[in-house]
Structure 1
Amino acid sequence: MKPAALLFDMDGVIVDNHQFHLKAWMEFSKRHGFHLDEVEYKKHINGRTISATMAHFFPDEKNPDVIQSLGAEKEEIYRQLYAPHQKPTPGLVNFLRLAMDAGIAVGVGSSAPPENIAFTLDGLDLRKYFAAIVNGSEVSVGKPAPEVYLKLAEKLGAKAEDSIVLEDALSGIEAGKNAGAKVIGLATTHPAHEISHSDLVINDFNGLTVDKLTSLF
Structure 2
Amino acid sequence: MNIKAIIFDMDGVIIDSEPAWQAAELAVFNQLGLHLQPTDVEQTIGLRIDQVVDYWQQRKPWQPYNNQQTAQDITAKVVAYISEQGQALTGIEQALKWSKENGLKIGLATSSPRYIIDAVLEKLQLNNTFNAITSAEHLPYGKPHPEVYLNCASALNVNPQHCIAIEDSFNGLVAARAANMQTIAIPEARFAHESTWSIAHHQLKDANTISSTLTAYYHLG
Same fold (TM over 0.5): yes
Structure 1 residue 80: Cα displacement = 2.2
> For 1:108-187, what aligned pairs fall within 5 Å after superposition?
108-187=108-187
5+ residue gaps in structure 2?
none
Post-superposition CA distance 1:24-56 (Å, at most 9, x none): 11111121111222332222x211111111222
CA contact (8 A) 2:136 2:143 kept: no
Q: What secondary structure does 1:109 align onto?
A: strand
Q: What secondary structure does 1:177 align onto?
A: helix
Matched residue, 2:17: 17
Q: What secondary structure does 1:137 align onto?
A: coil
Distance 1:123 1:190, change over 3 A: same
Structure 1 residue 193: Cα displacement = 2.1
Matched residue, 1:204: 206
Distance 1:42 1:26 in 2: 10
Post-superposition CA distance 1:162-196 (Å, at most 9, x none): 11010001100111111111111112275222224
| Aligned AA (2:213) | K
Distance 1:174 1:38 in 2: 23
| Aligned AA (2:16) | D
Distance 1:196 1:148, change over 3 A: same
Whether 1:42 and 2:48 are equivalent positions in the alignment is no
5+ residue gaps in structure 1?
none
Structure 1 residue 103: Cα displacement = 1.1
CA contact (8 A) 1:13 1:188 kept: no
Distance 1:93 1:110 in 2: 18
Matched residue, 1:67: 67
Structure 1 residue 88: Cα displacement = 0.6
Distance 1:10 1:176 in 2: 14
Distance 1:143 1:19 in 2: 19
The alignment-based identity, stated in percent, is: 26
Q: What secondary structure does 1:134 align onto?
A: strand
Matched residue, 2:81: 81
Q: What secondary structure does 1:76 align onto?
A: helix
Structure 1 residue 214: Cα displacement = 4.4
Distance 1:117 1:146, change over 3 A: same
Structure 1 residue 150: Cα displacement = 0.6
Give the paired residue count. Answer: 214
Distance 2:132 2:87 in 1: 21
Q: What secondary structure does 2:46 align onto?
A: coil
Distance 1:216 1:68 in 2: 43
| Aligned AA (1:101) | E
| Aligned AA (2:10) | M
- When normalised by structure 2's length, the TM-score is 0.88
CA contact (8 A) 1:8 1:166 kept: yes
RMSD: 2.2
| Aligned AA (1:58) | Q
